[in-house]
Every structure is written in structure tokens, then in C-alpha cells.
Amino acid sequence: MSFVELKGVCKRYKVGEVVISAADHMEFSIEKGELAIILGPSGSGKTTVLNLLGGMDTADEGVISVDGSDVAKYDRKQLISYRRSEIGFVFQFYNLIPNLTAKENVELAAQTCSDFIPAPEILEQVGLKDRLDNFPSQLSGGEQQRVAIARALAKKPKLLLCDEPTGALDYNTGKLILKLLQDTCRKSGMTVILVTHNSAIAPMADRVIHLKNSRVSSIDINPSPTPVEEIEW
Amino acid sequence: MKSALRKNAVKEIFKTKSRFLSIFCIVAIGVAFFAGVKVASPDMKRSADSYFKNENLAHFRLVSTMGFSDNDIAALEAEEGLTVYAGYFTDVLIDSDENETTARIMSLSDYEKSNEVNILTITEGRFPAAADECIVDNGGFTGGRSIGDRIKLISGTEEDLSDTLAVDEYTVVGTFSSPMYIDKTSRGSTTVGNGTLNSVIYVPEENFKTEVYTEIYITVDRLKGENAYNDSYDDIQEAVADRLEQIADVREEERLEEIVSDANDEIDDAQKELDDAKADADKELSDAEKELADAKAEIEDGEKELADGKQQLADSLVQLQDSRKELDDGWAAYNDGVKELQTQTENAKAEIEEQRKALDEAEKEYNDGYSAYQQGLSAYNDGKAQYDEALAQWEQGSAYYGLLAEFYGGDMTALYALAAAAGIELLQPDQSGALPPEAQAFISSLPSEEETAAMTAQLEASKAQLDETEQTLAASKEQLDSTEAQLEAAKSQIDDGRAMLEQGERTLEQSAADGEKALAESLEQLEDGERQYSEGVSAYEEAEAELDEAEQTLADGKKEYEDGLKEYEEAKADADKEIADAEAEIEDARQELADLEPPEWYVFDRSGNPGYSEYGQNAERINNIASVFPVFFILVAALVCLTTMTRMVEEQRSQIGTLKALGYTNGQVIYKYMFYALFATIAGALAGAVVGQKLFPIVIIKAYGMIYTIPDVIVPTDWLLTSVCTAVAAAAAAAAVYLCCKSELSECPAQLMRPKAPKAGKKIFLDRLPVWRKVSFNGKVTARNLFRYKRRMFMTVVGIAGCTALTLTGFGLKDSIGDIVEKQFTQLNFYDGILAFDSDEEKIGGVLEEYGAQSTVYYQKSMTVSSGGKTVSAYLVVPRDTADFAGYYLFRDRKTHEVYPLTSEGVLLDEKTSLLLGLERDGEIGLYEDETDVKNVTAKAFIENYPSHYIYMTEELYVKLFGEVPEYNMMAFKGDLDTDEKRDELAAELLDTGSVLTVSYKNSLMNTMNNILTALNSVVAVLIVSAGALAFVVLYNLTNINITERIREIATLKVMGFYDTEVDGYIFRENLLLTLMGIAAGLFGGTFLAMFIIQTAEIDLVMFGREIKVSSYLLSAAMTLLFSIVVALYMHRRLKKIDMIEALKSVE
């Protein structure tokens, strides 16, 4: 069984009288240690998939298996624990607590679990050794996203979910962040799932899942992913 | 405006209902409180004014030392614009076993329609319809009487009540309320009794016998259009009062002249009357004298007669005693006779009995002998018969054997005889002589010859025996015959004895009967004697009774005579005295008339009515509160409200940018926020103003209704105030929105659409402290956040502080009011009761001692105290024994509790008086009853005291100032008087002494004061509730803003797997801290606010406490905390519902 496996997952929203299907019998799987990219245009259901995988939302139908457990069957409490200990999340807009220093932002996440990587150490890993005591407003966008990644990694999650991590960054910085993610995946063998609408970065992934109209349209497996440095867009 | 924009604006309201409602509520509460408390005072005045107008309350009341004549009334009526109502009143006492109560009796001119002025409202029952019916005041001043009770009035002065009133006993037929008496705690003062008016009673006007009217009520046309308590009213009132004084001056002189001429006539009449009376009296006295002499002679005759009767009675008593003795002797003799007779009869009877017994014995002996004789006789007869039989046998034998012998002797004939004897017939021997055979056989059957010989011999022997027997028999026959004779003799002897015995018995009976008869006769005689004697005794007793009666009659006559004599002497003395008095009186009257001063008129405006001015002052006091408290209140509301609006505009930054980018003008962009803010504010202000203007005045007027009878509650909506409030609120909101939007709109759309650069996090000073390292991570976050959002922190703290301060002020007011009774009567005054007396101090002391109560004596008088042009009316108190007095009253400093001694160097004043006069310690005060005679004295210290004003002075100082020893008239007492029964009993006994005017107990004083203060307490409750409501809404709103502002942060935390409690903690730790800071600041600021408001709200007569209890601090803090907890609980649900997906959205 794959590390992450979705089977017949459906998610519908009811808006007034209209029922909108955000996920329509989605099925795919991701192996442990893979860097997977979920690719699709706006409204294709990629955020829904991310929400479901991240335990922020519950599926109406289907099985969402993560490391052997069916997340779709979790109750509220279990979902919190799941997010707390198994998931690392990187947002498009970083979502750092502006009032805390880089180190403190990482500690905020780290304090929620018992087994964590100390903040200075993980910040050093993301290359922010000298910015420990800076507040987010004193950091550039890329640096902020690095703090966000450090915050996600500090918890030693099983799964790192990234929502358009480069969406708010310029080209070069974006590239650096993607590289950091790819390196993290390679070096620590962490399963990373990246959601984006930018098909240009698809070659860097081990697996690319194409979404269209709330369905999986195709899945490409890339035996030799291109290093980020070589990708241009 | 474009409809899309309008739609957007309206939608915004629905989208943010809680924010909209917060603004609405805060504005509504603020404005309601402001407007409500603001109009409370005018509404109080308005309500009272309406009542006064409806009941046509007089504007002036005039009284005069000599009443008012028709000329006086005519003079007043001549004045333009005045309506004059003349009437009567007199102050009396109500006769009662218990407390003596005073009453003002007023005349009811037309009891069908009540009065034309000061119209009475019958609250129960009806108007009087007969001369002996009355109506009493309903407001607790009925002297404990209810409808159907009888009231007996007695004069409170030396004058006879019947001079004033034709009827002095009334039946209560109704209770009334009068616009003159709105004060439920006082009916004013009087000159009778204890000086305090206890009740007001209306009786038919006809009952008043006074020649002149005793009071005049005036209504002034010019004042009818004015509202009571207004300045313009006061101005006109003053002008009219001046004019009335002028009239008074003129009339006073004229009246004197009228009186003098009338009085001279009267005196002359009186002189004539006196002379006539003198002559009458002389004649009457001489008649009486003669009558008395006659009576005396009559009495003497009677006495003589009585002595004779007594002598007779004594004689008859001696006679009676003699006859009694005789009778007693007779009785003794009779009794002896009876006894003797009995003895004799008994002896005789015994003798007879003895004889009878001897006879019976003889008879028995005889009977024994006789039966022995009978036995002997029968034995003899038996013997005789035996003998005779034996003889016959013998003779037979003898004959038989003789024949045999003869036969044997050869005589053949004998043979034949034998055969014949044997019954055998034998044939005669044949001629041969041979014998026939049969004869032979017969011969052979005969005994032989030898046997015959033997038999013959034996027969001869029996013959001898028989003869012997014959002899013995003859002898016993003889003996028997002699015995018989003896028995015969004995028998006859016995019979003789019997006859003699019977004879004896008969004789005895005869003699006994004779004796009894004789005795019966003498008994009859004795009884006759006895009857006669008792007749004599009763006759004697009758005579004796008769005599006693006569004696009594005589004694009565004598006493009557003596009484008559005494009466005569007294009458004579009286008449002499009366005449002398009358002469003196006439003389006095002449003298008095010569000395007579003109009458004095007193012009009272409505402030003479008890409670009238105080009510106005109370309204002012509310006005004072209204000028500070609500302003503060509304400031807090405004602050919170404006912050909320600012937040909203800031939050919608990107939307503003979008609209701008779409080409809308600034005005059009602002429109939405204006619409939102104005809609919330205007609606809130309108609702608040309208509701507040009803709610608060009604609550406050009702609260004052506990002290004042104000039946009308008039709370019109002041539309001007409403519009002003609404306009101001709207303007403020508009200004805030405009300013807010302006700063936003100055930026270009592109910038606006980008998220506002998040406020930079930075190190706070705490980071630099070594302690920082030890602060927990959560603590750090909280501290940072607090300092980061300084404005929000400030706003929250101020908002919460404001509400806490307002609540504390409410509680503080309550403390300072509620405490004073307790303090005054447990910490400062230690007496159980006080009494006013006019004489006989020892007797009163004795009564108190009986009840185990101690007492101290002092002098109390109402005086005016002045200093620096200000005056205060206070009681001057002079203890007789300063040291003793200290056991009843404590003189101490309110703050330091330092005890001040009362010395002759100066006086001690209550603190409130010093505040009213603006006095410093050791300052000089003037003390006077009459403005022309002011005594100056030093105020040594100011003592803690709450109700009324007191000045304490030593006797020494008093003597020095006034030149005389005060007439001690009060006593304070204390003792074991813990039950109502005991207190009532003591009061009744004290009043029974006739020297005690009033007795009041601490308990009832406390109750009365507590009643008054309860009214203010209700007002305070309104403040507390309002402040609480505001606090709640403010807290809700602030927390709401906090959450809205940080929703993204919260969502992020949730995505990161924070538990609900961790999320709550993240937000509420801050809130709690802010709340605590707010509470601390509020308690601090509230202390000052409370002090300020307490002093503003205080009335002149009573000092409120200046202490806020610890419990009030705690309660205010707890209330605020409770609200924040309730809000937190509510917000917890909201936090739980926050959608994590928010975290993924881009910053708007």
C-alpha cells in the first residue's frame, strides 16, 4: 500500500440550492519519500485535496489513507492530533505570527509536540542561522517562507503539505524555496506534496497529479526529476 | 447613489450582525442613560408641578399672630391677580394611652367638593358629612388610626379646646392626600406637644369657633402659568411675596386699631358682668348659710332620739337574758325527769323478769315430778294386772285339783264335774254301777292321784306368794297416791305465782305511762317558753337594726351638713377669688390692651410646605448626578463605538481599494461606512433616547415616591434632547468614519489592495529584563501581543476601567448611603432612646431606673450657625455632665477616629456643617436664634455625624455666652431594652409622668432613616445595572474586535493543530490580562469618581459616608470579571467555529 492513498474521495459543498462538487471520486496514491505535485487550474479541486489531506476538512465519501490510517474517518479531536503531529503546512502567505521572532515562530509549532527539532537547528538548516531573533516584518518574503518551512519541519511531520509556496514570491526566491523543499525531500526522505497551478515546475517532482474539474485527469510518474536549478519558467 | 453600493452597505450590516448590534447597543445604552438621567430631574419637577397644578396648591400661605379679620381678607382680595381663600387651623394633641401625638386640625370649607385650593384627594373612605366626622392624612400620619376609629382631641396649650372647636371627638371617615404634604416622612413642625406635627386632620369648617380666620391661602394668577421649581417661578414668587409683605405691614397696624377699640368695649362689658355676678354671688351665699343652720338643728334632735332608743334596747336585752336563764333551768329539770323515769321502769322490769324466771324453774320441776309419777303409776298398773292374772290362774288350778282330790276321795260326782269342766259328757254309770268305758278313758287321762296331791301342795305355796305381791302392790299404790297429792299442791303454787307476776307487770306499765305523760306536759311548757324567747330576741334585733339605721341616717345627715358647710366655705372662697381674679383679669386686660403690639403676619411660600423644597433639592441632586455620571458613561460608550468603526474601516481596506480602483469616488466609497455607522448610531441613539427618557425617570420618580407623594408620573419624551443626542451621536460617528476613511483613501488603490504591512513585531522592554527568559512561552506571546496592539490595549483597558469605575461608583454611592444609619447608631450614638421633658427630672430618672436604664441629661435647641455669609440650621446641644454624655455620644474624627474632648474653649461641630460653611478648624462661627443677637464662638473640631447638624458645647461655655444655665430638656437613655414590648411599656410609663413630651427609640429612628435612604438606593441600583449592562456590551465588543482582527492568526494556529483550549488560551490570556488591568484602573479611577459623585449627590441635611467598602471593590471587580468570563464562554464557541481555510486565503 502506498504511503498516501486516495480512493473514491468525494467532497461536495452546498451553496444555496446548488451542490458544487469539489472532489469527484478522486483516486491517486503517493509513495513514501516522494515529492508529489498536484497540478491544476483554479477551481480544479487542488485546494480541496490539500484540505482533506491536511485534516482541515472531511471527505463526504471515500478513503484517505495516510501511513495506513484512514484520515477520512477521523473525528474532530483525532484530526487535531493528526494535524499536530503528522502534518507540516506551508502557506502561500507564510502565515507567520508577526509578533514573534523567527525562532519563536518555530518554537510555537515545536512546543505542540514532544519530539521536535530545536528551533535554532532547523532554522540553520533552512539557512537562517543569523536571523533567529528577527521578526517576520524584518525578513524578506523568501526568508519568511523559509521560517514557515522551518516551522513545519520542526515538528518532524510525516507529510509536508505546501500550498502555492512560491505564489507570493519573485522568481529567484521562489526557486530557492522550491530547492529547499526538494532538498528536504531528498535528504530527509520526507514525503512532500506541493499544490500549484504552475505547470512549469512539474519536472522537479517524482509524481505529478493533474486535476481537472474536480477529478484526477492524469498522473505522471517521473523516474528522474529535474533538479530545481535547471528548471526555467 | 448606485444601488449596488446600497445593497453592499445593507449586506454588510447583515454580514456583521454582532458588530452592528454591538454599536447599536452601546450607543443605545449610552444615550438611554444620558438622556434618561438628564430628563429625570426635569421630569421629577414636572410630575410634582402637574400634581400641584391639578390640586390647585396655594402659592402662598399666610398666618398671623392674631388671625385675619374680614378687613384683612378684603385688603388682600383688592390686590390684582390674587385669589384668597381663608380658613382655619389649630394645632392640638390627640388623646391617647400611648405616645402623645400632635395634630393640625384644618377646616374643610365644602366637604362635598373638598376645597377649592389645596384640593384633597380621598384615598380611602369619603369626605365628612357630619359635624363629628373627620378625614385623616394617609401618609403614615394617621396616628395609627384607621377609618371608623374615634379620635379625641385635647388642647395642647393652656387654652380650652372648646374655645376653638365645637366638637372634640371625631369619627374617621376617610383618608386623604394633600398637595401640601408630599413628604411622607414629615408633616412639619408645630407649637404644641413635642413640636413635631404627627398628623393632619380635616374637619368641617363649621366646627371652628374662632372669630377670625387663622390662615389664608393665596393663589397667584401669574404663577399659574409657571412651573414649580423653575427660576422664573421663583422670581415671580419673590416679587409677589414682597408685595404681600407690604400689604401685611399696612394691615398689621390697622388691625391693631380695630382690636383695641373692640377690646375696650369688651372690657367694659366684662366689668358690668362682673358687678352683676358679684351681687348674685352674695345673695346665693347668704341663702346657703341659712339652709346650713336649719340642717344643724335637725341633726341635734335626731341625736337625742337616738340616745333614748339605745337605752330601751339595753333594758330589753337584760330581760331577754333572764328569761333565757329560766328556760335553761326548765330544760335541765325536764331532762332529769326523763332520765329518772327510765331508771325506775327498768328496775321494775328486771324484778318481774327475775320472778318469771323462778316460776319457770318451778314449773319445770313440777313437770319432771309429774312425769315420774306417771311412770310409777303405769308400773303399778302393770304389776296389778300381773297379779290378777296370776290369781286367776291359781284359782283355776286350785278348783281343778280340788275336784280331782274329791274324785280320788271317791266322790263320783266330782268326776262328772271334771268332765263337764273339760267339756265331756259322760254317761251316767249303768244300773250296775259299772262305769261306762268312756268314763274309764277319761279317768285315765286325769292326773294321777299323786300328781294331784303334789299340785295341791304347790298351789298352796303360790297362794302365799300371791298374797305377798298383793301387799307390795297395795303399798306402792299408797305411795303413788301421796305423790299425786304433792304434785297437785305444787301445781297450784305455780299457778298462784303466775297470777302474781301478771299483776306486777300491769302495775309497772301503768306507772310508766303515768310518768311519760307528766314529762310530755312539761316539754310542752318548755317549748312554749322557747318560742316566746326567740320572739323576744328577734324583736330586740329589729329594734337594734332600726336604731343603727337611724344612727347612719344621722351620720349621713351630719356629713352632708359638713360637706355643705365646706362647699359653702369653698364656694365663698372661690367666689371671692373668682371675683378677685375677674377684677384682676379685667385689670390685666386693660393693661394688656395698653401694651398691645400690632399683629405680625407671616408670609410663607410653598417652601413652607414640608418636603416641597427638599423634593426640589432631590431633583437638583439627580441633576447633579446627571451632569457627571452619564457624561462619563457616554464617553466610554463613544470610545468603544468609535474604535469599532475604525476597526471596520481598516478591515475593509482592500475592498476600499477595489472600489476605488473601479473608479468610485471617495464619497461613494465612504458612503457604505457612513451608512453603516449612521444607521447603527442613529437607530441606537433614537431607541436609547426614547426608552431611556421613559425608563430612567420612571424608575427614579418611583424611587422618590417612597418618600414623596407624587401621584402623577409625567415623563414626556423630550424630542429636542432626543434629536440633539441623535445628532451628536451621528455627527461623532460620521466624523470618526470620515477621518478613518480619509486616511485610508489617501493611499492609492494598488496599495490599498495589498495587505497593509503588518505592524512590525518588536522587542518590548520586557525582553531586555533578565526575567524574560523565565517567562513561559505563552507568557511571552501574550506580553508581546499586549504591547504590540497598544491602541487596542489602551482602548480595552479604558473601556473596562470605565465600566468598572461606573459600577464602583454605583456601589460606592450605595455604601456611603447605606452605611450611615449603621454607623450613626452603632458607632457614634450609644443610646437606646431619647426623650424630651419639661419638668420633674427625678421622677423620669426614677422610671428609667426601674427599667434598669441609665440616662444623661442635656439641652437641645435649634439654632442658626453662620460663617462667611453662609448659614446652616443646626441643633445646639449642651450636655449637663460632659463625661457622662460621652457614654452616649462619641465625638470622633471620621477618618482618623481620633476622639475629641468637649471643652469650654470652643464648640464641636459636625463635619457636614463645617463643609457647608467652608469652615477650617479653630475658625469662628456665629450662633444665633435671632439675627440681632449673634454669639461668636470657636469651632474646635469637626466630628463624624451623618444626619442633621449638631453643635456641642459645654455648660460652662453656654453660661459664658448666654448668661444663664440652659433649661435642660432632653435625656438620652440606654439599658436592657431589647424587646418592643419593653420599650412600649417604658415609653407609656414615661409619658404617664406628664413631664415627658416625646420618647423616641433608636430602632424607630433607624427605620425612618433607612426608609428615606432606600429611595436613593434604588437610584443607585439603576446606576449599577446600567454600568453593568454597558460593561457587558463593551467587553463583548472588544473581544469581538480582537477575534475578528486576528482571525487569520487563529486559523493558522488551528491548522497547526492547536487544541481548542490552547487557542482559547492564546486569545483569552490577553483578554484576561487586559480585563484585570482595566479593573485595576477602574477601581482606582472609580474611587475618585465615586467620591466626586457622592459629594455632588449629597443633600444638605445629611452627610453621606465617604467610605467605599472593600466588598464594593471586590463586587465591582467580580462583576466585570464575570462579564468577561461570560463573554469568553460565548467567544469560545465562536473560536471553535472559525474556519481554518481562512488561513489559506490571501490577506484581504
pLDDT digits (tens, 9 = 90+) for B681-705: 999 999 999 998 988 888 888 878 8
**Residues of chain A contacting B1057 with CB distance shorter than 8 Å:** 80-85, 87, 112
Q: Does the beta-carbon distance from B1052 to A109 stay under 8 Å? A: no
Of A109, A137, A163, the CB nearest to B1056: A109
Please tell me if residue A78 touches chain B, with a CB cutoff of 8 Å. no
- pLDDT of B554: 85
Q: Does the beta-carbon distance from A82 to B1057 stay under 8 Å? A: yes
Query: Where along chain B do its domains lie?
Result: 1-41+633-754, 48-258+601-608, 259-593, 764-824+1001-1148, 825-1000
The Cα–Cα gap between B369 and B359 comes to 15
The Cα–Cα gap between A3 and A31 comes to 5
Least confident of B380-384, B785-789, B1053-1057: B785-789
pLDDT-derived band of residue B950, with 50, 70 and 90 as boundaries? very high
- pLDDT of B1147: 55
pLDDT-derived band of residue B1113, with 50, 70 and 90 as boundaries? very high
Q: Are A9 and A27 in contact (CB under 8 A)?
A: yes
Q: Does the beta-carbon distance from B1058 to A112 stay under 8 Å? A: yes
Residues present in chain A in total: 233
Query: How many percent of chain B have pLDDT more than 70?
Result: 94
Q: Are B177 and B115 in contact (CB under 8 A)?
A: no
Reference B391, options B492, B313, B338, B469; nearest CA is B469
Which of B781-790, B1062-1071, B1079-1088 is modeled with the greatest confidence? B1079-1088
> How many interface pairs between A and B have CB atoms less than 8 angstroms apart?
80
State the Cα angle at B350 between B348 and B355, rounded to 5°: 95
Least confident of A213-217, B88-92, B749-753: B749-753
- Write down the ipTM of this complex: 0.91
Of A83, A104, A111, the CB nearest to B1055: A83
Query: Where along chain A do its domains lie?
Result: 31-61+73-230
* CATH match for A31-61+73-230 among 3.40.50.300, 3.40.47.10, 1.10.2020.10, 3.30.110.40: 3.40.50.300
- pLDDT of B952: 93
- pLDDT of B995: 80
Please tell me if residue A119 touches chain B, with a CB cutoff of 8 Å. no
User: If you average pLDDT over residues B506-535, what whole number do you get?
Assistant: 87
Q: With a cut of 70, say whether residue B814 has pLDDT above it.
A: yes
Mean pLDDT (chain B, rounded): 83
Residue B189: DSSP 8-state:
B
User: If you average pLDDT over residues B160-185, what whole number do you get?
Assistant: 85
pTM: 0.61
pLDDT-derived band of residue B1146, with 50, 70 and 90 as boundaries? low
* Lookup: cell for B117: 385650593
- pLDDT of A209: 92
Higher-pLDDT residue of B675, B423: B675
State the Cα angle at B121 between B120 and B127, rounded to 5°: 80
The helix/strand/coil state of B286 is helix
pLDDT tens sequence across B1044-1059? 878 888 888 888 888 8
User: If you average pLDDT over residues B384-389, what whole number do you get?
Assistant: 90
The Cα–Cα gap between B222 and B756 comes to 69
Q: With a cut of 50, say whether residue B181 has pLDDT above it.
A: yes
**Residues of chain B contacting A153 with CB distance shorter than 8 Å:** none
- pLDDT of B682: 92
Reference A184, options A140, A230, A101, A122; nearest CA is A122
pLDDT tens sequence across B721-768? 899 889 988 888 888 888 878 877 777 777 776 656 555 556 666 666
- pLDDT of B99: 60
DSSP string across B512-530: HHHHHHHHHHHHHHHHHHH
Neighbours of B25 (CB within 10 A): 23
Which of B29-38, B420-429, B587-596, B986-995 is modeled with the greatest confidence? B29-38
User: If you average pLDDT over residues A79-89, what whole number do you get?
Assistant: 89
User: If you average pLDDT over residues B827-842, what whole number do you get?
Assistant: 87
C-alpha Rg value of chain B to the nearest Å: 71
Cell numbers 468577561: residue: B1124
Q: With a cut of 90, say whether residue B1098 has pLDDT above it.
A: no
Q: Are A103 and A120 in contact (CB under 8 A)?
A: yes
pLDDT-derived band of residue B142, with 50, 70 and 90 as boundaries? low
Please tell me if residue B762 touches chain A, with a CB cutoff of 8 Å. yes
Please tell me if residue A140 touches chain B, with a CB cutoff of 8 Å. no
Which of B353-362, B633-642, B646-655 is modeled with the greatest confidence? B353-362
- pLDDT of B505: 86
- pLDDT of B1148: 43
